[in-house]
């Protein structure tokens, strides 16, 4: 097991990408704390229609220690509590996967300012808060890792005036944090998923989804496990000299010039 006895937090881990990440970390022997606004997994219109078991239970089936902490990642108090509960339970923290994110469709003219603030709060502020409160514990670990989940939309427009800018900022925050904690042995990296089959895609039409598949060079869309295995690699000893990178895990989405 690549992560035996290491302690990880995964935000937004009840459903979708976060759930897939948590399960793969557990498969490799990590203790996994599940942070989300609700414990029950979301069922999507197109994907994960039959997912019902809480993520912590799935991790326990794999032999991992795991529990759920109700967390609004945009809340300073919630994020501080999440770190405190984890350290109290397991005596430290080795891995933080900041995954929680939302998407509210709309142009600059359609999107409410309150919706823009909410997207930025969860997608960017939450990652800063996790970073801020986790670093004092990660620097005490000789395996300290931060993995931020960004998006291929970090590199291009097209996902609206809140989502894409927030994801671009995550990539920059990742690089800045890597510089901040590198001398203390903590690595900080981002993963930029392409289309992943999760309930967050419910706002799309079937035609939109087919268009995404057509634009993906590899012959399928992504699944949460694809991101989970990338997280396992970046959290493992095999990646101990990799920091400050933004790794696309996108089936080749970014490769062509369209």
Q: Which residues are catalytic?
A: 163
CA–CA gap between residue 107 and residue 195 (Å, rounded): 20
Q: What distance lies between CA 11 and its chain's CA centroid?
A: 7
Other CB atoms within 10 A of residue 83 CB = 24
Closest CA to 171 of 245, 99, 100: 245
159 burial class (0-12, 13-18, 19+ CB within 10 angstroms)? middle
Between the two ends of the chain, the Cα-to-Cα distance in Å is: 41
Ramachandran area for residue 91 (φ above 0: left; ψ -120 to 50: alpha; else beta): left
For 65, the enclosing helix (H) or strand (E) is none
């Amino acid at each position: 097991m690549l992560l035996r006895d290491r302690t990880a937090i995964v935000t937004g881990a009840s459903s979708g990408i976060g759930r897939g990440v948590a399960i793969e970390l557990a498969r490799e022997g990590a203790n996994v704390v599940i942070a989300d606004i609700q414990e029950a997994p979301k069922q999507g219109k197109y994907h994960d229609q039959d997912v019902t078991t809480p993520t912590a239970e799935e991790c326990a089936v794999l032999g991992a220690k795991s529990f759920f902490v109700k967390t609004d990642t945009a809340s300073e108090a919630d994020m501080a509590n999440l770190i405190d509960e984890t350290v109290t339970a397991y005596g430290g923290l080795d891995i933080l996967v900041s995954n929680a994110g939302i998407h509210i469709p709309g142009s600059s003219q359609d999107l409410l300012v309150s919706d823009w603030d909410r997207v930025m709060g969860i997608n960017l502020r939450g990652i800063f808060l996790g970073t801020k409160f986790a670093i004092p514990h990660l620097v005490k670990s000789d395996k300290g890792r931060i993995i931020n989940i960004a998006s291929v939309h970090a590199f291009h427009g097209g996902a609206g005036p809140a989502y894409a800018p927030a994801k671009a900022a995550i990539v920059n925050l990742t690089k800045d944090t890597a510089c901040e904690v590198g001398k203390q042995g903590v690595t900080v990296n981002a993963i930029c998923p392409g289309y992943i089959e999760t309930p967050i895609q419910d706002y799309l039409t079937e035609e939109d989804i087919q268009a995404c598949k057509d634009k993906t060079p590899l012959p399928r869309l992504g699944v949460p496990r694809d991101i989970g295995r990338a997280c396992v690699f970046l959290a493992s000893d095999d990646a101990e000299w990799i920091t400050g990178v933004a790794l696309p895990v996108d089936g080749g989405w970014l490769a062509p010039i369209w």
